[in-house]
Amino acid sequence: MTYIAKPRLHHPTLETNKVGYTRRDYEGKISTLCAGCGHDSISAAIIQACWELDIEPHRVAKLSGIGCSSKTPDYFLGASHGFNTVHGRMPSVLTGANLANRDLLYLGVSGDGDSASIGLGQFAHAMRRGVRMAYIVENNGVYGLTKGQFSATADSGSKSKKGVINSDSPVDLVAMALQLGATYVGRSFSGNKAQLVPLIKGAITHGGAAFIDVISPCVAFNNHPGSTKSYDYVREHNEAVSRIDFITEREEITAVAQPGEVVDVRQHDGSLLRLRSLHADYDATNRYTAMAYMQEHQARGEIVTGLLYVDPLATDLHTALNTSAKPLNELDVPQLCPGAPALDKLNASLR
């Protein structure tokens, strides 16, 4: 589908935001992900959030790593700056870009394999340093590009497509973000747009390190016995001259949870995802309460969603380093190289 281009013409009656852009102006290329993939819903939520925030697309820099999730920046904000890094290295590249040009809005998109395994150290340092960014992890618990092996966020006791039981303890990126000092931490579900869009808007406008873990089911790897949409079922009932793997179209999983309510979501493979939205009177400004609340409900088999923690007085890495208000990439030679007298003064102050 990559050869199919979206039409550039817009209907003249499309609604525009305050800066004159339609929602279509925030879109990217046609997605090549599996039909029904939750990642596409996250892309749609990012598009909606940026449109509602009246952000000019050229003011955004989107960076990603490697994986199904890291392909998605190609599907939104086509007129924005973009950089696809190597596996697990998105946070450090974004940190460098942020230090060079603080005027851009930074959006880091990653996955559970990209951030919780090879990029775990990079994730940790980006959070503790307070790099101003909206860090979104599209979490499906498997390596989708390499046929569905368990990722580091897969729950202990969960069963793979091949029936293997995961015996490893999961890496909880939300708990790590809270512990490491992130100043905006949330969790959502790709099928709950009403909850996800406001969370993304808050993360983009936040003044420090913002992290959102989005549970995003992988529709390709629910190949279980008894499913009429499994590969084996199609092969057994298809009379063909060759053996071809394909993914049939499936409806996307959606769920809406009211504050304080528990909603059970049945996934394509028959497994149950239990979501709890935060109570309306929940205090999201207490980091330790957030950690205790999340672990309490995790012990019940529930996934807490919503804005878990926010520091309204957050600062970022630029504040800590006392960098210039003018972006470093805009400084001219006299400012960058003030001469020998200034250097001698600096050296003397360090003696």
| Average pLDDT of the chain to the nearest whole number | 81
For the residues 5-25, what does the mean pLDDT come to?
A: 85
pLDDT at 238 over 50: no
For the residues 279-305, what does the mean pLDDT come to?
A: 81
For the residues 213-228, what does the mean pLDDT come to?
A: 60
pLDDT at 243 over 70: no
pLDDT at 23 over 90: yes
For the residues 99-114, what does the mean pLDDT come to?
A: 95
- Measured between alpha carbons, how far is residue 117 from residues 141, 159, 193, 246 in Å? 11, 19, 28, 29
For a pLDDT cut of 70, what percent of the chain falls above it? 81
Pick the most confident of 98-102, 202-206, 221-225, 268-272: 98-102
For a pLDDT cut of 90, what percent of the chain falls above it? 46
- Report the C-alpha gap between 8 and 26 in whole angstroms: 12
So what's the pLDDT on residue 153? 87
Confidence of residue 246 (pLDDT cuts 50, 70, 90): very low
pLDDT at 346 over 90: no
For the residues 50-69, what does the mean pLDDT come to?
A: 94
For the residues 24-44, what does the mean pLDDT come to?
A: 91
Confidence of residue 229 (pLDDT cuts 50, 70, 90): very low
Q: Is the pTM of this model over 0.85?
A: no
Report the sign of the C-alpha dihedral through residues 68, 34, 226, 191, in that order: positive
In tens, the pLDDT along 141-166 reads 888 777 778 889 888 877 777 778 88
Amino acid symbol at 57? P
pLDDT at 227 over 50: no
For the residues 4-22, what does the mean pLDDT come to?
A: 83
Higher confidence at residue 207 or residue 249? Answer: 207
In tens, the pLDDT along 266-291 reads 544 454 545 455 676 677 788 998 89
Confidence of residue 81 (pLDDT cuts 50, 70, 90): very high
So what's the pLDDT on residue 275? 47
In tens, the pLDDT along 178-203 reads 999 999 999 888 888 888 998 899 89
Confidence of residue 264 (pLDDT cuts 50, 70, 90): low
- Measured between alpha carbons, how far is residue 48 from residues 98, 111, 161, 281, 346 in Å? 24, 21, 33, 27, 48
